[in-house]
Amino acid sequence: MKSIRFLFMFFVFVIVVAIYYNQSYKALIDSKTKQIEQTLVNHKALRKIINKHYIPEIKRLKEEGLLDKDYINPYFTSGTLLTQTLHEYTTPIVLEDGEEVSKYKLASPNPLNIKNKSTDYEEKIFHNLNDSKQEKYSEIIEENDNLYLFYAKPFTKMKGRCISCHSTPEAAPINQIKKYGSTSGYNYKVGDPSGLITMRSPLDKDILNMQNEVIYTSVIILFIFVFLYVSSEFAIYQLRKQRRKIARNKLVHNKLIKESRLDPLTGLLNRRSFEEIFRKERNRANRDNKFLVFLFIDIDYFKKYNDRYGHLKGDRVLKTVSKTLKKCFNRSHEHIFRLGGEEFAVISSEHSSDTKVLGWSDNLNNELAKLNIEHKDSPHKHLSVSIGIYIIEPGNMDISMQDIMKKSDEALYKAKSSGRNKAVIYSQ
C-alpha cells in the first residue's frame, strides 16, 4: 500500500512538472511572438512617417524645382530599406549587450532588391497566407542546429503610389533602374501582394534559461512533494498506531469484562453474571408471560472429597461437573453459573411440566454416574449432585433474587436430607 501511495505521488509530481514545463514553454513562445509583433508595429509606424512626411516633402521640393525631377534617395522614400537599415545598425548594439539578434527580412517572389528574394520555404508560406487570407504565420524551425521562432505576415499590398516604381521598367525612375536593374520587382498591379515580412527570433538561450528555471522550480516542487509524502506517511503511521492501540485496549477491555464475568477455574459464568442475567431473564419471562426455572446445584459431600483426595482432584471434579452441566444444558435459553465453592446454578425459561424439569436433574446425575468418579465418603460411592428447584410462574416475576435463592436452598436442603443424588422442587 505504501508503494502504491509513493507511485501515485510520483505520478502526480511528473504530471505537475510536465504541465509546468508545457505552460512555461508556451509562455516563452507567446512572449517571443509579442516581442516580434511589437517590433513590426514599430516598423509599420516608421513607414507611416516616411509616407506622411518624407515623400510629400520630396514631391513638394521637386515641384518647386528645388530638387531634380529624377532625384531619388531610397533612405527618404523607402520604408522597407529604412527598416532593413535600422536592423543593420541595431544588430551590433544588441550583440554588444550580449543578446541574440533576431533576423529581419522582407521576402518576395519578385523583389526589387534581389537580396529580398524569398526562399522556397518563404515562398510557400507567402502563397499559403495569401490563399487562406491568414494574417500571420509562426512555427519553431531549426537552422544549423539552432532553434528559431519563425514569424511571417503579409507585406502591404501594392497601392497606387507604388505602381510608378513597380509597374514596368520603362515607367520606373532612372536612378532606380541604375541601382536595382530592370529584371525584378516589376509587373505589379494595384492590390497585388508584394511579399512577406519575416523574423527569425533565436530560442536556444531563452529555452535554456526556461529549462533552468523549470529545473529549479521542479526541485522545490519535489521537496514539497517529499515533505507531503513523508508527512502523510507519518500521519498514516500515527493513525494506524493509534488505531492499533485503541484495538488493543478494546481487546484488553473486552477480555477484562469477559474475565470479570467468568469463573477462572471452570469457565462458567460467575456470581456477578448470575445477578445480571437473572434480572434480564426475569424481565424477559415477565414480558413474554413465560415460566422461569431456577436450579440450585450442590456437589454431594464435596468437603469430604477434598479432604480425602486433595484440592487438586477437587478442582478437577469442579471442572468435570462444569463440563457435564454444559452437556446437559446447552440450549440458547439456558444459562449455567458457578456461584462459589461447589455450588452451581442453572436458569432456564423453558417449562412444560414439573416432571420434565425433574428429568433434567435426573439426566445430570445419570451423566455424572456414567463417569464413575470414585467418592468413598459418599453413600453412593461415586460423584453425585443434589438439586433444589424453584419454578416462577407467569405473573409472579416480582420476586427478588434473594427470595429465589432462599426457596431453592430450602428445596436443596430437602434433597440432601432425603438421601442426596436427587432433585426436589420447592413447594409450600
pLDDT band, very low/low/confident/very high, at 385 (cuts 50, 70, 90): very high
Helix (H) or strand (E) holding 207: helix 204-261
Query: Does residue 84 contact residue 104 with C-beta atoms inside 8 Å?
Result: yes
Mean residue pLDDT of the chain comes to: 86
Q: Which of 68-77, 213-222, 360-369 shows the lowest per-residue confidence on average (mean pLDDT)?
A: 68-77
User: Hey, what's the cell of 419?
Assistant: 438421601
Strands 423-425 and 385-392: parallel
* Phi, psi at 198, each rounded to 5°: -125, 150
Amino acid at 6: F
Confidence (pLDDT) at 394: 87
Confidence (pLDDT) at 192: 82
Amino acid at 247: A
User: Hey, what's the cell of 263?
Assistant: 469463573
pLDDT band, very low/low/confident/very high, at 306 (cuts 50, 70, 90): very high
Q: Which of 82-96, 151-165, 210-224 shows the lowest per-residue confidence on average (mean pLDDT)?
A: 82-96
Q: How far apart are CA 140 and CA 200, in angstroms?
A: 9
Residue 87: closest CA among 25, 153, 18, 40:
40
Confidence (pLDDT) at 257: 61
More confident residue, 193 or 374: 374
Using the CB atoms, write b or e for 117-156: b if 16+ within 10 Å.
bbeeebbebbeebeeeeeeebbeeeeeeeeebbbbbbbbe
Residue 340: closest CA among 294, 274, 396:
274
Question: In this prediction, what percent of the chain has a pLDDT beyond 90?
Answer: 33
pLDDT band, very low/low/confident/very high, at 102 (cuts 50, 70, 90): confident
Q: Which domains, from first to last, does the chain contain?
A: 2-216 (no CATH), 271-425 (3.30.70.270)
Query: Does residue 149 contact residue 200 with C-beta atoms inside 8 Å?
Result: yes
Confidence (pLDDT) at 95: 62
For 267-398, strand residue ranges (E) read: 292-299, 334-340, 343-348, 385-392
Task: State how far the alpha carbon of 285 is from the alpha carbons of 269, 277, 278, 280, 349, in Å.
Answer: 20, 12, 10, 9, 7
Question: Where is mean pLDDT largest: 91-95, 265-269, 394-398?
Answer: 265-269
pLDDT above 90: residue 311: yes
CB count within 10 Å of CB 31 equals: 12
Sheet holding 103-107, edge to edge: 103-107, 196-202, 146-154, 137-143
pLDDT band, very low/low/confident/very high, at 254 (cuts 50, 70, 90): low
Q: How many alpha carbons fall within 13 Å on the CB side of residue 212?
A: 6
pLDDT above 80: residue 424: yes
Question: In this prediction, what percent of the chain has a pLDDT beyond 70?
Answer: 94
pLDDT above 80: residue 260: no
Question: Where is mean pLDDT largest: 56-60, 91-95, 128-132, 327-331?
Answer: 327-331
pLDDT above 70: residue 258: no
Task: State how far the alpha carbon of 228 is from the alpha carbons of 162, 172, 219, in Å.
Answer: 68, 75, 14
pLDDT above 90: residue 377: yes
pLDDT above 70: residue 130: yes
Contacts of 410 (CB under 8 A, 6+ apart): 388, 426
pLDDT band, very low/low/confident/very high, at 318 (cuts 50, 70, 90): very high
Q: How far apart are CA 203 and CA 146, in angstroms?
A: 8
Using one digit for the tens of pLDDT, what is the confidence trace for 334-363?
A: 999 999 999 999 999 877 788 888 999 999
Q: Which of 56-60, 117-121, 300-304 shows the lowest per-residue confidence on average (mean pLDDT)?
A: 56-60
Q: How far apart are CA 270 and CA 323, in angstroms?
A: 15
Contacts of 381 (CB under 8 A, 6+ apart): 374, 375
pTM (predicted TM-score):
0.52
Confidence (pLDDT) at 60: 84
Residue 35: closest CA among 213, 206, 156, 211:
206
pLDDT above 80: residue 396: yes
Using one digit for the tens of pLDDT, what is the confidence trace for 58-82?
A: 888 888 888 877 677 766 777 667 7
Confidence (pLDDT) at 373: 94
